[in-house]
Structure formats: structure tokens, C-alpha cells
Amino acid sequence: MPTAAYLVRNEVWKCLADFRLPDSLGFGLVAAPVMYSATFEGGQWKQGELLPYGAIEILPGARALHFAEQVFEGMKAYRVGRPAANLFRARDNYLRFKRSAERLAMRPVPQELFLEGIHAVVGACTAFVPDKSGQSLYVRPFLFGTEPGYAVRASTSARFMVIANPSEAYSAGVMKVLIEREQVRAAAGGLGTVKAGANYAASLLASTRAVERGYTVALWLDPTTRQNIEELSGMNLFAVIGDELHTPVLNDSILPGVTRDSLIVLARDSGWRVIERSMAVAELLRQLASGECSEVFACGTAAIVCPISLIGDSDGREYRPGVIDARARELRERLLAIQERRAPDPYGWTSEVIPLVRPDRHGRVGT
């Protein structure tokens, strides 16, 4: 980003100086010491600010709390073996964030403001972007309606924030997924194609039950016929069938993942046939039983590519892919090498973040 149009609160410098990365990071458990906040009020965006991470105040009547008027993004900044951090496909996250806001009738955050918030937090936290391969600074931009009231209409005021978490590679290890036959994650034409917190709320009961039955996550079917595979609650799904890579074609209830799209590009460029189609769950289970489907995996920003060792059905039957983490691993390693800028990036997917430097007494930065 060019010059900072946002305000840096004075306490930010002390809290950056005092912050130490703990030895154990986990995923999303350690809060970065600063956050970005900008408010939309009276028909315009106010100047954004960088401030210490901490509790915020909103009115109890805020529509975010009553009507789930909230959308978000998840992205990562990497800094493996380099002084500055870099983002991955930030513009694609922006475009999706904009679509998400529009779907909820919220005023989208302008692209400059979105990037300003992300660059402010990542730039300030450059030293806290853990730098071992697989580690990253997980970045969470979000937008929520702050106007109080029960009239069912969009808020006229909103707040855009960016928080971040120095994180280990998110590892669900090898996942066991349970086909959810009754509930649906998103209605056809509902919020499924956008990143709204409400989708996660809708998924929690099935997720809880899946975990109670010894699985990692629920596998969602399409809301209309419940015959076709859609995705997991926060990850898209791929299957290796014969020599081809198959994934559910995007529809009006699947979330178009940036990782999904990146894997399709990488796989095609390395000569694999990738087929996006409607995937009947009955057919996939047959192909798993016959061995025709050899491998299944899921993908998303947090876990990147995560192998699946078991697919369970509600009738108690279980299906095991013959291969675990072969193609998945190959794709994960290729993608991560680009994300971490260890490999050339012919797609222009990565972009650097200029570290935030404290101005001197004269307000000057640098030499």
C-alpha cells in the first residue's frame, strides 16, 4: 500500500514493542497485538485506525447480533526466509468479500479500505509472522452491521475490522467425514456462495453430532435433492477418480474457495484432467468401494489441502479411500511453495506487504 491514510494510535507502538510470539501457536489461538477498524456512518467511511487488539464496544441492539448481519474473509500472510510478508490472492478475497456484503445488502468495503486494513495489520505485525514453512499470520477481515433496531432492513452503519493470528499450519491431520443426510448447510439461493458467519451457525449442530460420532466434520449434500456432494463446512472437496481429479461444480449453494480454484489451476497446469461436475454421493461411495476412487481430500485457506481417510454414512457404513495424501500432498506442496514464495509464481498470486515502521521524532519514516 502507498502512504497510510489511516491513523496509528500511539499505544500501538508500545504494544508492538512488548509483544512476544509464544513458543506454541496453534491455529487462531494467539491474537496479533494490533487490529484495524473503520466505521461506516452517515453515508461514508470514516478514517480507519490501527489500534491495540482488545475488546470493542457495540450497542446491544446492533443488527449484527440479531440478524447475523456479518460477513468475513480468511487469508494468510507468509514470511518464510524473507524480511517482508506476502499475501496470497488478496484481490480474490476482496472480490468475494464484496460479493458477500452485497448478498447481505450491506455496503461493501471499498477495495482500497480492505487492502489498507490488511496491509496495516500485516505490515505492523511483520516481525510476528512466524517464518517456518507451513506457519503463517492468519488474517481475518470482517464486516458487521452496527445500527440498533428490529426493523428488518440493512444497517445504515457498519464496522470493518481486521484481526490476525500468528499460526501453525492448521492441521486437522487426516480427516474422517460424516455424510449429513438431513440438515443442509445452505439453501439453494441462500447464503451458501458467500462467506457469512450465518452459514457456520447453520452447520454447527451437524458438526457437533459428527464429532460426537467420532468424525472430524460433516460432509454436506445439496439442499434440493440431497443426492449430490457439496463441500465441508469450511472446505471444498476433491476426489481422485481413475486418473482424473473431480470436484463438485460451483452452484448456488457452494462456496467458491480460493484454494479450490488455485488447485484446479495447478493440477491442470501439471497435466491432470480436472472435472468440475455435479457429483452424486451414491456414485462416489460405489467408486470408493470398487477402488475406482482412490483418494479424497478437502481444501481451504486454513488447512490448505487436507487428506480424508474415511467417509461415513448415516446408516453406519464406512468407506475408505485406498490412498491417503498422495495427490493431496503433491498439490499441497506445490501450492505452499508458491504461497511462501519458495517457487516461482507465474500466476501473479502473491503480493508483498511493506513493513510498518515507527516514524522518528520528526514524523519521518526510513532514511
Ligand X SMILES: *Cc1c(COP(=O)(O)O)cnc(C)c1O
Residue among 237, 255, 293, 296 that touches ligand X (CB under 6 A): 255
Residue among 87, 210, 235, 353 that touches ligand X (CB under 6 A): 235
CB 116 within 8 A of CB 1: yes
Output the DSSP codes for 15-42: HHHH----S--TTT-SPPSEEEEEEEET
Q: Does 253 bind ligand X (CB under 6 A)?
A: no
CB of 220 to ligand X, least distance (A): 8
Interface mask toward ligand X for 21-60; x: CB under 6 A:
----------------------------------------
Q: Does 190 bind ligand X (CB under 6 A)?
A: no
Task: Report how far residue 139's alpha carbon sits from residue 36's, in angstroms, rounded to the nearest whole number.
Answer: 11
Residue among 33, 117, 234, 312 that touches ligand X (CB under 6 A): 234
Q: Does 100 bind ligand X (CB under 6 A)?
A: no
Bridge partners (DSSP) of residue 71 are 143, 196
Task: Report how far residue 180's alpha carbon sits from residue 213's, in angstroms, rounded to the nearest whole number.
Answer: 12
CB of 351 to ligand X, least distance (A): 16
CB of 248 to ligand X, least distance (A): 11
CB of 101 to ligand X, least distance (A): 15
Output DSSP code: residue 228.
Answer: B
Q: Which stretch binds ligand X (CB under 6 A): 2-10, 41-49, 99-107, 251-259?
A: 251-259
> Can you give 157-212 as a three-state secondary structure string?
CEEEEEEEEEECCCCCCCEEEEECCCCCCCCCCCCCCCCEHHHHHHHHHHHHHHHH
Q: Which stretch binds ligand X (CB under 6 A): 159-167, 175-183, 228-236, 331-339?
A: 228-236
- CB closer to ligand X out of 177 and 356: 177
Q: Does 248 bind ligand X (CB under 6 A)?
A: no
CB 52 within 8 A of CB 15: yes
User: For 150-173, b where at least 16 C-beta lie within 10 A, e where not — what string?
Assistant: eeeeebebbbbbbbbbbbbbbebe
Neighbours of 15 (CB within 10 A): 16
Q: Does 301 bind ligand X (CB under 6 A)?
A: yes
Q: Can you tell me whether residue 288 is helix, strand or coil?
A: helix
- CB closer to ligand X out of 176 and 260: 260
- Cell digits for 351? 503480493
Interface positions, 322-351, toward ligand X (CB under 6 A): none
- CB closer to ligand X out of 215 and 238: 238
Interface positions, 192-211, toward ligand X (CB under 6 A): 195, 199
Beta-sheet strands, E only, within the chain? 7-8, 34-41, 44-45, 49-52, 70-72, 75-78, 85-88, 136-145, 158-167, 175-179, 217-221, 229-232, 236-241, 244-248, 273-277, 293-300, 304-312, 318-319, 350-353
- CB closer to ligand X out of 180 and 231: 231
Number of residues lying near ligand X (CB under 6 A): 15
Q: Which stretch binds ligand X (CB under 6 A): 233-241, 278-286, 335-343, 348-356?
A: 233-241
Output DSSP code: residue 62.
Answer: B
Residue among 136, 146, 167, 259 that touches ligand X (CB under 6 A): 259
- CB closer to ligand X out of 147 and 332: 332
Task: Report how far residue 138's alpha carbon sits from residue 302's, in angstroms, rounded to the nearest whole number.
Answer: 8
Instruction: Answer left, alpha or beta for residue 325, where phi above 0 means left and psi between -120 and 50 means alpha.
Output: left
- CB closer to ligand X out of 159 and 185: 185
Residue among 123, 223, 257, 312 that touches ligand X (CB under 6 A): 257
Q: Does 123 bind ligand X (CB under 6 A)?
A: no
Q: Does 231 bind ligand X (CB under 6 A)?
A: yes
Residue among 126, 228, 236, 287 that touches ligand X (CB under 6 A): 236
Task: Report how far residue 269's alpha carbon sits from residue 314's, in angstroms, rounded to the nearest whole number.
Answer: 38
- Cell digits for 88? 496470497
| Binding residues vs ligand X (CB under 6 A) | 74, 195, 199, 231, 233-236, 255, 257-260, 300-301
